[in-house]
Structure formats: structure tokens, C-alpha cells
A and B are shown apart, each in its own frame.
Chain A
Amino acid sequence: MTQDDVIGDYKYGFHDSETATIRFDKGLSEQVVRDISALKDEPEWMTDIRLKAYKHFIERPMPDWGNTGMLKSIDFDAVTYFLRSSEGTEGDWDDVPEEIKRTFDRLGIPEAEQKWLGGVTAQYESEAVYHSIREDLTSQGVLFFDMDSGLKEHPEIIKKYFGAVVPYSDNKFAALNTAVWSGGSFIYVPKDVHVTMPVQAYFRINAKNMGQFERTLIIADEGSSIHYVEGCTAPTYATESLHSAVVELIALPGAKIRYSTVQNWSANVYNLVTKRGIAHEDAVIEWVDGNIGSKLTMKYPAVILKGEGAHAEVISVAYAGKGQHQDAGAKVHHLASNTTSNILSKSISKYGGRSSYRGLLKVSPKAKNCRSKVVCDALLLDEDSQSDTYPTMEIGNASSDLEHEASVSKISDDQLFYLMSRGHSEDEAMAMIVNGFFEPFTRELPMEYAVELNRLLEIEMEGSIG
């Protein structure tokens, strides 16, 4: 594969020269895990969790489902598990090293922060390099830290919740993340506090053969609400990178968490992420999840509806281009009565790309009167591309009601002709149809992300014909 094949039109495919101050040797061992923990000067209990997780990772076989061929090709020994780009986290943008600053400027941070965001944390390689939070949030008692700082400042909260939603034994990649995690966000919203502006994190892999393993934990206390936005990019290298994050959300009674992601990895990143939230009584968890790029994505944002009256919303889109497999979907467990969920999944495949919807919907026998609606729509842009659906449903009682709709469509010649007759070139017409197809997703995003996503899709559509 040539460099061009890998790069395509990937917009964020630039990379800076590395400015690592600490770089671990490639490969994973117990010593690497101990070293990461020691370097961060962590409490012993965290080191212990890491080591247990490492042991589990080594013992746990690869998943025997999903794209097993691609999974097998991951070379864990070729990955760098920790890389520090700057000395510590900066609170002032001016103090961030020049190279890193330039990268984030190109990505539009902290411009975005000035305009509308409640807070920003920007992660470069393994650790956060820039972090800020608006003063009014601090004064309301909102805690927003990068995960490493969070562990130092509030170990008691993190000890209570870390791994409570996604234990390391959950799956091989959750184990890997728990063993070597670095960075990510920690947020705690106190009772009845409503964070009205979205808070944002930006993750970027810059070094080659780099693994990024951020760990995010958000706790919304009773009656509170927060919208967290996460963007991810990576530059393009001919060799592969690994991104394996874990995100845990806890919405206590009456709380609401919305977690929006737009991922735009380059075509050589393995993106294997475990995202899960627990919604207590009358709480709401919403995952808004956009996946563009990567070589293989396996990601199924999940919600456990633990308390009565809780609600889950999972809206996701995936775009699979050449050589890419987006294996994405949603999981909802209805454990309590009168819980409701909506799942909307939309995927586009082009140039032989493959999109899979993999969903699990479970209603436990004790959970009466649950309602759920699942809609999966796939759009294929050429004959070589592929879409498949693997929905699993286990409904444990007769009082619950489930709807499922699925469709696969193609762009019709008549639609293209109609748009072209209004002055749009074939690529523009295609982009308009594709943007329209994703619209139920993009309208849920903050404006800047919606615009960005539409622009990315337009770039993807260029030269798509013929």
C-alpha cells in the first residue's frame, strides 16, 4: 500500500515532528505497566488494578466475533504504550509547547473554547497537555480534570467509580486500557447543577505506532445535567496505531448525560473502544456517536437502565471507505420497569468499505412495561461496498414492547439527476444526499461539529464517481 492509499483525502493527515520528553520502548510487559503507574506516582490500589488488568489482558483470548481477521493482525509488540509530550498539564494556552500548540490551532482549539465551550481538555499522545474550565463551573462545584490530575486531586471519587461500569474483565481491550490507561477526562457534576454549555475534549495521536488509551469517567449527581463532546483525530502513517479507550458514565437519579463524539481517525488506526453508562431512576443517558475513518472500529455504546423510568438514547453514524470496516452499534440493558430506549444507527459504505450494525437489546424478565425502538439504515454508494446487520434481542417479558426497522438503500440516478439539474456537480449532489442521510445525527451535534462533519463528508465524496 502506498502512502497515498492510506492518506486519501484525510483532512487531519498532517503530523508534527515528535517532541517526546519520555518515550517507552515498544511492547507490553508487567514492567511497562508498573513504570507507567510509577511515573504518574499513583496510589497503590491503582497500580494493583493495572496489574490485574494486565494479567487478564494476557490471558484473555481475542474476541472470536467481529472482524477477526483484522483483529488478528494487530501487533501488540509494535505499539508504544506511553509517550509524554510535555512536562505536565498546562492551564494557560501560552505555556503549551509550540509544536503541540500548532497542531491544536490547526484543529481549531482553543478557538472553539473561546467561543462557546464550557471547558476544554486537549490530549496529545498519552497525556493531557492543555486543560481549562470556566470559572462559573468551578464555582458551582463542577470538577473537570484530565484523568491523571483527577486521580491526584480526588482519589476517593475515582476509587469508588473506576471500573464500576466497565470492569477490566469485561473484554480484552477494556483490560488493555485498564492496564495502560493514560489521560482522558474526569468529570463530576454536583447535585442539581446544570452545565448548560458543552464541555469538550480533543484527542490526537501524533507519533507512529502509538497506542492511545484514554480513560474517561463522568458522574452526574442527582438531578444534574451535562453535555460532553469529544473529538478525535490522528495523523496518517503507513504503519498502524491503536486507540483503545474506556468511557464510563454514571447518571444518578434524575440526572442527564449526553456524550457526543465525532471520530475522524486516519485509515490505519484500530479503534477498539468500550463505552458504557449506568442510568439510575429517571436518569437519561444519550450517546451521540459519529465514526469516520479508522481501519477497524469496534464500538457499541451501551446503557444499563438500572433505575425505574430511566431512558437511553443511542444515535450513531458510521462511514466506511476503502479498506475500512466500521463495526458499530449499540447495547441497551433494560433492568428496571418502565424504562425506555431509542436506537438510531445510520451507515454509509463506499469504495468497498464495510459497515456493520451490531446491536444488543435485553429486557430482563423483571423489567415490566419497557419500550424500545431500533432503527438501522444503511446507504451503499457503490456495488463493491457492504453493509450487514447483527441485531440481537432478548425480551424477557410480555408487557414490554419492541420495534425494529432496518433498511438498505442506494442513491438513485433520479435523485442525482434532480440535484444536478439544479446546478450541482455529481460530487456535490452525492455529498448533499449523504449529508441529508446523516442529518438526523448531525442535527444533534453542536453547530461547529455539525459543520465540520458535513465538510468532512463533502471531502469524502469528492471524486467518488466513475
Chain B
Amino acid sequence: MADIVLEINDLHVSVDDVEIIQGLNITINKGEIHAIMGRNGSGKSTLANVLMGHPDYKVTSGSIIYQGNSLLEMEVYERARSGIFLSFQYPSVIPGVQVGTFLRKSINSIKGEHAPSAREFRKLLSEKMVMLDMNKSFLSRYVNDGFSGGEKKRLEILQLLLLEPSLIILDETDSGLDIDALRVVSEGINSVLEYSACLVITHYQRLLDYVKPDHVHAMIGGCFVKSGGPELAHKLEANGYDWLEPKTEVKT
């Protein structure tokens, strides 16, 4: 029997009164990887932000059920504490806050009474940093301050590994990563999949060679116009999206 992590029904989302997502449906089960592909402006990142609860995005109708609860009632930090993790396309710079402090505070906030002791945390941290091939000096730098694109993404994945979320949303995580980094990232994701589900938002097929999706959805104009298996990703990469453009009106 399927273990449903996320269920979205007929979701409509607006930003500044412009409807970006127009009737989106998806169900994600534990252990599954779903990939959403689409061009710029198709609404992919909007979906990621809505799931995390960005205040600029207004849900006008539809529902999002996460682990049996309505997500729309929850504050951003409550979503995070209940196990939703968004790997940001553009992570924010937080000047003066050291990476080490930030990670420690975050794991304490999210895990609450189950947070690791200081000693356990140090051990865990050094383990994951070795895995991601990150230098210890990283910890004393300020969060994303002066980071290269690749460094920012590594820090996102480091957080993912430490926080052990039950729903992972990767928003354009492959941009800024070289092939080695991609492999490391995918190993990280695959290592936590046992107890979580993953939504991968991407432009390119590249990441999907490493994080292998069970389902692929093509997004145009704020809804899925086609869903399929991994083969759809290859087709989109080869043929683009024009063949999916609605001639008159497409209903899903």
C-alpha cells in the first residue's frame, strides 16, 4: 500500500494577482522521486516556493495535503519542522552568521528534543562534510557570503543531509554544480530516500542521470501537460517543449 507524503489537488496560485499555477495535481509517495521539467516562467519554482510557504505566493484555490495535514494552515517554520526541506535556487546571504552556528541552530530548531548533542552534532557534521568533499574552513565562513554558485549548492545539500527531511524539494539544484558535485549530491539524496520523497525541479535532464526519477512531469503555463516515466525527460531534452504547447486548450 502506498504511503502518501504529498497530495496536491487542483492548485491555483497567484503572485500580484497574476495566476501562475493553474490547476495542478500531483501525488507523491514515500521513496519516490518526481521530476518537474519546464522552461523559465512555467511555474516550476513557484510550486517550490508555495510548498515552503513563501508569503508572496497566494493560493487562491485547491488543497495541499502533507502527511495527512493541510499544509496551507502551517507557517513556514512549522513546515520546516514537520520535515519539508527546500534546496533553494538562490540561497540568501546572511552576513555575520557563521555556517557552523547556522547549521547547529537549524538542526536544533527542526529536530527539537531529538536534536543531537553537541558531540554527536560535530561527528555528524564532519561525516557529511567528508561525504560532500567540503573543507572544515567552510564552517567559519558567513552563510553564503561570497560563495561561488557551487559552494552555495553544496551548503544546501549539507543542510539536507543534516536535517533528514521527509519531503525534499530541489529547486534547480544542478545549476552551478560540476559533474563530480552532481554525483556527490545525488549520492546524498539517494542516501535519505529510504524515509523520504523527493521533488526535483530542473531545466535539464543532466541531474536526472544521477537522481533517477520514477515520474517526470512536463510543466507549461502553470500546469502539467504531460506526465510519464524517465523516458519523458530524455524526450524533453531532445525535442524541447514546443510539441507539448497546447494548440487550443489542454485539459489535464
A107: chain B residues within 8 A (beta carbon):
none
B92 adjacent to A415 (CB under 8 Å)? yes
Query: Which among B81, B91, B110, B142 is the interface contact of A418 at CB below 8 angstroms?
Result: B91
Q: Does A232 contact B (CB under 8 A)?
A: no
B109 adjacent to A439 (CB under 8 Å)? no
Q: Which 6 A-B pairs have the closest CB atoms?
A: A436-B96, A439-B96, A423-B109, A423-B110, A436-B97, A418-B92
B85: chain A residues within 8 A (beta carbon):
421
Q: How large is the interface on A (under 10, 10 to 19, 20 to 34, 35 or more residues)?
A: 20 to 34
Within 8 A of B (CB), among A393-428: 412-415, 417-426, 428
Q: Does A437 contact B (CB under 8 A)?
A: yes
B53: chain A residues within 8 A (beta carbon):
420-421
- Give 24 pairs: A residue, B residue, CB < 8 Å, sorted on A: A414-B90, A415-B92, A415-B94, A417-B76, A420-B75, A420-B76, A420-B77, A421-B53, A421-B79, A422-B110, A422-B159, A422-B163, A423-B80, A423-B81, A423-B106, A423-B110, A423-B163, A424-B109, A425-B77, A426-B77, A433-B97, A436-B97, A436-B143, A437-B95
B77 adjacent to A418 (CB under 8 Å)? no
With known contacts A413-B55, A417-B54, A428-B109, A422–B97 Cβ distance under 8 A: no
Q: Does A438 contact B (CB under 8 A)?
A: yes
B77 adjacent to A424 (CB under 8 Å)? yes
Q: Does B86 contact A (CB under 8 A)?
A: yes
Q: Does A440 contact B (CB under 8 A)?
A: yes
B52 adjacent to A421 (CB under 8 Å)? yes
Q: Does B136 contact A (CB under 8 A)?
A: no
B75: chain A residues within 8 A (beta carbon):
420, 425
Q: Does A459 contact B (CB under 8 A)?
A: no
Cβ-Cβ contact count across A and B, 8 Å cutoff: 79
A419: chain B residues within 8 A (beta carbon):
92, 94
B94 adjacent to A422 (CB under 8 Å)? no
B237: chain A residues within 8 A (beta carbon):
none
B97 adjacent to A418 (CB under 8 Å)? no
B93: chain A residues within 8 A (beta carbon):
415
Q: Does A432 contact B (CB under 8 A)?
A: yes
Q: Does B88 contact A (CB under 8 A)?
A: yes
Q: Is the interface of B mostly helix, strand, loop or mixed?
A: mixed
Q: Does A435 contact B (CB under 8 A)?
A: yes
- Give the CA-CA distance A417 to B93 in the complex, in Å: 12
B142: chain A residues within 8 A (beta carbon):
436, 439
A422 adjacent to B96 (CB under 8 Å)? no
Most-contacted residue by chain A among B77, B85, B88, B106 (CB, 10 A): B77
Q: Does B122 contact A (CB under 8 A)?
A: no
Residue of B nearest to A443 (CB): B96
B106: chain A residues within 8 A (beta carbon):
422-424
Residue of A nearest to B111 (CB): A423
With known contacts A421-B80, A423-B110, A435–B96 Cβ distance under 8 A: yes
A412 adjacent to B92 (CB under 8 Å)? yes
A175 → chain B, closest Cβ, in Å?
40
Q: Does B127 contact A (CB under 8 A)?
A: no
A432 adjacent to B105 (CB under 8 Å)? yes
Residue of B nearest to A442 (CB): B96
Known: A422-B102, A437-B95. 12 other contacts (CB 8 A): A414-B90, A415-B92, A418-B92, A420-B77, A421-B53, A421-B79, A421-B88, A423-B80, A428-B109, A433-B94, A436-B96, A439-B97
A421 adjacent to B76 (CB under 8 Å)? yes
A417: chain B residues within 8 A (beta carbon):
52, 54-55, 76, 92
- Give the CA-CA distance A53 to B170 in the complex, in Å: 70
